[in-house]
């Protein structure tokens, strides 16, 4: 028995199994997958909790039999044997509930962890995820929605056991008195139908509440992360008003959900109590008419009281299923979001020349651009939408509407993820600095030789950041780089990109928070360190553009001028763009 129960408990060394059938289509698919994953534990829990329910139903029957056959007759031997039997019955129901409930809780928490793992896997997949939700909202899905979505596991086992208990109770009532048995058999489904009728409203309100709570969580996370910039521009009051509005909406939705759940449980409880009162009244009338003995009356009244428990267990499943369906739908919607990057099955070519041939995509119009190995090309763009579209194509987030984006002649979106990630690195303008040491931020894998590391630090001007503290590269960095200035963060992020040393590096405005002198150092460092690699630099910084081998000026999504920075300064439009 102990070995069998131990086999149902999770092994701490077992990793959660991956999703092998793709993302669930909807909330129902999430719940079906949950029940399928834990069918073995659910069967065991159902068997044990059903044993508890049957024993609970047998308690009033056993007491009635003791009254009729031991107490009323004065048979001491029968009374002693009955007491021993009653003790055995209570021991059985106690241990069966304990272990059955434990197994159901294990299944629920195991699935809870697996859903969190699924959410994390979706976000951290190599191809990324185009979720469109705030980080705080992702956290809410992985915590609150995962918790609510898995409560159905425990309630399914209990409700199935409750149905078993109801069936046994009805059978016992038919055995005691067919009239009462028929009354219970007809009335019980009617009570459950009352619960079912109120479930859709609870599902709708739960979905709305979870969505508003997630939005409030997302706003709170953004507010905390952006507190310093908000203080700098005096936007705390506006941000606070926005969060208060979202928080109040979430609170109202939560109250509406609680009200709906209370209505469901209260209506079901009231209907069940009314029904049981009718059963008890009929039993009393039957006893007064001589159709029941005293012991049988005790049995009937006890069974009528017992019926309240399985009825409430079934009603709890209705409420839990409604709430779990809403949260499961949010989980399914999140896991069903598309990948951020496209990929194919081509390996990386030997030639690492990057080229855009007559690309038409969004604001880009017949854009032709090439970066040869060892070339540092600057791109000046006067429209942020053009920059975004160009970066999307270089990250292979989509295919161009027309034309081709190729690496060594192979379309970028047809390369495997590993091939593209190892050959093309697009460093975004928005800097991400992580909690840890400077060394861990610059060289996470600790793979750089000392000489190469020093060259990277010098080229990115991050050696100044290292030199500020006596701890050097062991200097601790706070989460999100809050212990560093914007310029320091940019230099650390640039050093991390240079340390990766990809054949093709794309940098988007890497020095907007850095002074002009430091920009000149970085420009010279890029030209020196990347002399054997391809580098595409989107910037309007004159210091960086001066270090480029070639500069392209884009206006209206097209290349309108090409040459060195010095040559292009003769043009009014270019000069106004880079010197404003």
* Mean pLDDT confidence for 172-196: 71
The candidate with the shortest Cα–Cα distance to 368, out of 360, 357, 379, is 357
Segment 282-286 long-range contacts (CB within 8 Å, at least 24 positions apart) = 282/179, 282/180, 282/183, 283/177, 283/180, 286/177, 286/179, 286/180
- Residue 14 has a pLDDT of 44
Max CA pair span of the chain: 119
What's the pLDDT at 13? Answer: 39
pLDDT score at 413: 84
Mean pLDDT computed over every residue of the chain: 81
Lookup: tokens for 12: 């701490």
Give the Cα separation of 96 and 341 in Å (integer).
51
Residue 438 confidence (pLDDT): 87
Tally of CA atoms within 13 A in the half-sphere of 130 that contains its CB: 10
Give the DSSP per-residue string, 153-167.
Answer: HHHHHHHHHHHHHHH
**Could you tell me which residues come within 8 angstroms of residue 402 by beta carbon, excluding any fewer than 6 positions away?**
358, 359, 360, 361
Residues of the chain with pLDDT > 70: what percent? 84
CA distance 184 to 311: 12
Selection from 42-56, 63-77, 251-265 with the highest mean pLDDT: 42-56
pLDDT at 17 over 70: no
What's the CA gap between 145 and 152, in Å, rounded? Answer: 12
Is 50 exceeded by the pLDDT of residue 164?
yes
Q: Are 136 and 220 in contact (CB under 8 A)?
A: yes
119 CB contacts (<8 Å, ≥6 apart)?
A: 138, 141, 142, 146, 331, 334, 335
Question: Which neighbouring-strand residues pair with 426?
Answer: 506
> Are the C-beta atoms of residues 552 and 561 closer than 8 Å to each other?
yes
541 pLDDT band, cuts 50/70/90, is very high
Assess whether pLDDT exceeds 90 at residue 546.
Answer: yes
Q: Which of 127-136, 151-160, 430-439 has the highest mean pLDDT?
A: 430-439
The answer on pLDDT for 219 being more than 60 is yes
pLDDT of residue 12: 41
| Mean pLDDT confidence for 511-532 | 91
Highest mean pLDDT: which of 76-80, 346-350, 469-473, 523-527? 523-527
- What 3-state class would DSSP assign to 562? strand
Q: What is the pLDDT of residue 495?
A: 93
Helices 294-335, 236-288: inter-axial angle, 10-degree rounding: 160
Q: How confident is the model over 83-93, as a mean pLDDT? A: 86
* Closest to 414 in 3D by CA, of 396, 427, 438, 426: 396
Lowest mean pLDDT among 204-213, 344-353, 429-438: 204-213
Q: Are strands 402-407 and 354-361 parallel, antiparallel or unpaired?
A: antiparallel
Q: Is the pLDDT reported for residue 3 higher than 60?
A: no
H or E, element range at 358: strand 354-361
User: With the CA atoms of 232, 236, 237 and 241 taken in that order, what torsion angle do they form, in degrees rounded to the nearest 10?
Assistant: 150
Identify which has the larger pLDDT, 28 or 389. 389
Q: Highest mean pLDDT: which of 155-159, 203-207, 538-542? A: 538-542
Report which of residues 126 and 114 the model is more confident about: 114
Q: How confident is the model at residue 543 (pLDDT cuts 50, 70, 90)?
A: very high
- Give the pLDDT band of residue 235 (cuts 50, 70, 90): low
State the Cα–Cα distance between residues 580 and 574, nearest whole angstrom: 10
Mean pLDDT of 537-561: 92
**Separation of alpha carbons 574 and 402, rounded Å:** 27
6-39 CB burial, b ≥16 within 10 A, e <16: eebeeeeeeebeeeeeebbeebebbbebbbebbe
**Element of type H or E holding 406:** strand 402-407
The total of other beta-carbon atoms located within 10 Å of residue 139's CB is 17
Share of the chain above pLDDT 90, in %: 15
- Whether the per-residue pLDDT at 383 is higher than 70: the answer is yes
| Phi, psi (deg, nearest 5) at residue 486 | -60, -40
Q: What is the pLDDT of residue 314?
A: 74
Taking alpha carbons only, the member of 316, 294, 296, 314 closest to residue 304 is 296
pLDDT reported for residue 339: 81
- 67, 287 in Cβ contact below 8 A? no
Find the mean pLDDT for residues 116-123.
88
Whether pLDDT at 380 is above 90: yes
Positive or negative CA dihedral for 35, 41, 46, 52? negative
Higher pLDDT, 224 or 301: 301
The answer on pLDDT for 112 being more than 80 is yes
Whether residue 352 has pLDDT greater than 60:
yes
Would you call 552 exposed, middle or buried from its count of C-beta atoms within 10 A (0-12, 13-18, 19+)? Answer: buried
Residue 513 confidence (pLDDT) above 60: yes
Give the Cα separation of 258 and 120 in Å (integer): 29
Q: Give whole-number Cα distances, 316 to 148, 205, 405, in Å.
A: 13, 17, 56
* pLDDT above 50: residue 5: no
Weakest-pLDDT range from 292-301, 391-400, 401-410: 292-301
- Give me the helices (H) in 432-541, please: 438-442, 450-459, 463-468, 486-500, 516-529
pLDDT average, residue stretch 521-528: 92
- Give the Cα separation of 451 and 247 in Å (integer): 52
pLDDT of residue 19: 42
Q: H or E element: which one contains 377?
A: strand 376-381
Length of the chain: 580
User: Quick check: 11 pLDDT over 70?
Assistant: no
pLDDT at 16: 45
Contact present, 557 and 386 (Cβ < 8 Å): yes
Q: Is the pLDDT of residue 407 over 70?
A: yes
- Cα R_g (the chain), whole angstroms: 35
4 pLDDT more than 50: no
**Closest-CA residue to 162 (of 312, 39, 262, 353):** 312
Q: What's the mean pLDDT in 471-487? A: 84
Instruction: Give the domains, in start order, of the chain with CATH numbers.
Output: 24-335 (1.20.1560.10), 354-433+496-579 (3.40.50.300)
- Report the pLDDT value the prediction gives residue 337, as an integer from 0 to 100: 84
H or E, element range at 389: helix 384-394
Of 477, 57, 482, residue with least CA distance to 299: 57
CA angle 269, 275, 281 (to 5 degrees): 135
Q: Which residues, listed in sequence order, are joined to residue 505 by a DSSP beta bridge?
A: 425, 535
Is the alpha carbon torsion for 391, 395, 401, 406 positive or negative?
positive
Q: Per-residue pLDDT averaged across 193-201, rounded?
A: 63
How close are the terminal C-alpha atoms of the chain, in Å? 79
pLDDT confidence tier of residue 274, bands split at 50, 70 and 90: confident
Helix ranges (H only) for 24-145 are 27-37, 39-66, 76-124, 135-140
């Amino acid at each position: 028995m102990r070995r069998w129960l131990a086999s149902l408990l999770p092994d701490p060394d077992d990793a959660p199994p991956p999703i092998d059938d793709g993302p669930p289509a909807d909330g129902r698919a999430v719940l079906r997958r949950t029940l399928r994953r834990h069918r073995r534990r659910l069967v065991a829990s159902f068997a044990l909790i059903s044993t508890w329910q049957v024993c609970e139903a047998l308690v009033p029957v056993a007491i009635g039999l003791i009254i009729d056959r031991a107490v009323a007759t004065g048979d001491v031997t029968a009374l002693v044997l009955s007491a021993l039997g009653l003790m055995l019955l209570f021991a059985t129901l106690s241990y069966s509930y304990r272990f059955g409930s434990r197994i159901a809780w294990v299944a629920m928490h195991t699935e809870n962890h697996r859903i969190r793992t699924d959410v994390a896997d979706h976000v951290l997949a190599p191809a990324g995820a185009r979720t469109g939700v705030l980080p705080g909202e992702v956290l809410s899905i992985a915590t609150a929605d995962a918790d609510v979505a898995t409560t159905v596991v425990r309630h399914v086992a209990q409700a199935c056991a409750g149905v078993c208990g109801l069936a046994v109770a009805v059978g016992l009532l038919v055995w005691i008195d067919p009239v009462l048995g028929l009354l219970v058999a007809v009335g019980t489904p009617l009570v459950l139908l009352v619960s079912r009728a109120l479930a859709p409203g609870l599902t709708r309100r739960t979905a709305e509440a979870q969505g508003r709570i997630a939005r409030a969580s997302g706003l709170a996370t953004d507010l905390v992360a952006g507190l310093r910039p908000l203080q700098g521009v005096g936007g705390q009051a506006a941000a606070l008003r926005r969060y208060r509005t979202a928080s109040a909406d979430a609170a109202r939705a939560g109250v509406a959900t609680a009200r709906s759940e209370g209505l469901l449980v209260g209506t079901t409880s009231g209907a069940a109590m009314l029904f049981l009162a009718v059963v008890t009244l009929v039993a009393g009338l039957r006893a007064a008419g001589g159709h029941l003995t005293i012991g049988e009356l005790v049995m009937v009244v006890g069974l009528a009281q017992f019926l309240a428990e399985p009825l409430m267990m079934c009603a709890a499943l209705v409420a839990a299923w409604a709430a779990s369906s809403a949260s499961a739908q949010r989980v399914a919607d999140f896991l069903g979001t598309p990948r951020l990057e496209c990929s194919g099955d081509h390996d990386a070519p030997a030639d690492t020349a990057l080229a855009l041939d007559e690309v038409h995509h969004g604001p880009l119009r017949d854009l032709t651009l090439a970066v040869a190995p060892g070339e540092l090309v600057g791109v000046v763009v006067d429209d942020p939408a053009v920059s975004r579209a160009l970066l999307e194509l270089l990250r292979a987030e989509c295919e161009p509407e027309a034309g081709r984006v190729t690496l060594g002649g192979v379309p970028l979106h047809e390369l495997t993820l590993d091939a593209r990630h190892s050959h093309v690195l697009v460093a975004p303008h928005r800097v991400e600095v992580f909690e840890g040491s400077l060394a861990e931020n610059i060289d996470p894998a600790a793979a750089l030789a000392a000489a190469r590391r020093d060259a990277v630090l010098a080229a990115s001007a991050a050696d100044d950041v290292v030199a500020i503290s006596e701890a050097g590269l062991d200097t601790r960095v706070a989460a999100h780089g809050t212990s560093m200035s914007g310029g320091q963060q940019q230099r650390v992020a640039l050093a991390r990109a240079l340390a990766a040393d990809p054949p093709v590096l794309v940098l988007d405005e890497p020095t907007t928070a850095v002074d002009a002198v430091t920009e000149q150092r970085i420009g010279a460092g890029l030209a020196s360190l990347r002399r054997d690699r391809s580098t595409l630099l989107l910037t309007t910084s004159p210091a960086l553009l001066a270090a480029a081998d070639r500069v392209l000026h884009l206006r209206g999504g097209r290349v309108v001028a090409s040459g060195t920075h010095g040559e292009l300064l003769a043009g009014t439009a270019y000069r106004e763009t880079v010197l404003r």
